[in-house]
Amino acid sequence: MEISEKEYLELKEQVRQLQLKVEGVSSPPKDLHSRVSETPISHVRNVKDDTPVFDYLHLASDDAWIAFVKLAKVIHKPSDKFYMDKTNIGFGTGERPYIRSYRCGETPRKITEMSEEQIQVSIDMLNELIPIYNKYFQKTHETVLYSENNDGVYKQVNVFRVEQGE
pLDDT tens, position by position, 98-126? 999 998 889 999 999 999 999 999 999 99
Contact 137, 41 (CB under 8 A): yes
Q: What is the pLDDT of residues 56-94, one digit of tens each?
A: 998 877 899 999 999 999 999 999 999 999 988 777 778
- Give which of 106, 65, 102, 66 is closest to 84, Cα–Cα: 102
pLDDT number for residue 28: 61
Residue 114 and residue 24: Cα distance in Å, rounded?
A: 22
Q: What is the pLDDT of residues 149-159, one digit of tens each?
A: 889 999 999 99
pLDDT at 19 over 80: no
Query: What is the pTM for the complete model shown?
Result: 0.71
**How confident is the model over 135-148, as a mean pLDDT?**
94
pLDDT number for residue 164: 42
Question: Which residues 6+ apart lie within 8 Å of 31 measured at CB?
Answer: 111
- The dihedral formed by the CA atoms of 53, 58, 61 and 65, expressed in degrees to the nearest 10: 130
72 phi-psi bin (left φ>0, alpha ψ -120 to 50, beta other): alpha
Lowest mean pLDDT among 7-11, 37-41, 138-142: 7-11
Residue 39, number of CB atoms within 10 A of its CB: 20
